[in-house]
Amino acid sequence: PSQVLKSWEGLGETVETFLGPVGLSIPAGEKGRSVLELTWARPTAEFNGIIGGYTGKGFKTVIAAEASAKVSFRLVHKQDPKKIRAAFQAFVRDRIPGDCSVEFHPHGGSPAIQLSYDSPFLAKAKDALSDEWEKQAVATGGGGSIPVVGDFQTYLGMESLLVGFGLDDDRIHSPNEKYELTSFHKGQRSWARILDGLTR
């Protein structure tokens, strides 16, 4: 929604401030969209790893007989993971050379969920967070794989409120991941405020 995009613009994030710390300057994705919109609200296709041919030291002119890739997709609201998988597989099959074959080994998939931006639960949570952090809370988007959240929405008709307190430099899922104690303690107090607000 336009009001959400406007709130993201108010964060002052630019291509330079967002991509600069990782040595990049050109965002990947659709043209004409902000770096936050691309990151938080648009679908992606990602090659997480590519293996094939000689990868050791030095140089060899051996032509690889096999190659493989690890591929993932970040879906957005109303995208069907089964349709996306089938479309990708058809795309690849249509482009392999003659006498070559391709195999796919799926690792699951779940639909994206989106909390209604006009949800009263979200409004109460934003108020509680703003009180604790003394800054206006902004609803953001985020990629992640928590299939049970979609199940809650699909089977129980319940929306889930996901609130994170990590920082940009926490190096999430890396061997040297960290989490600030300030975020931990203020996160505890934030949830106490949120739960109190939801009862009113």
Residue 42 has pLDDT above 90, yes or no: yes
Same domain, 61 and 133: no
Q: Render pLDDT for 106-117 as a digit per residue (tens, 0 to 9).
A: 998 888 888 888
Q: Which of 78, 93, 108 is the last residue of a domain?
A: 93
What CATH number does the domain containing 26 carry?
Answer: 3.30.70.360
Count of structural domains within the chain: 2
- Domain extent, residue 78, equals 2-93
Examine residue 111 and state whether it is found in any structural domain, yes or no.
no
| Domain shared by 83 and 146, yes or no | no
- The band of 154, judged by pLDDT with boundaries at 50, 70 and 90, is confident
Residue 127 lies in a domain: yes
Distances 160 to 33, 35, 110, 151, 153 between C-alpha atoms, Å? 27, 25, 15, 10, 7
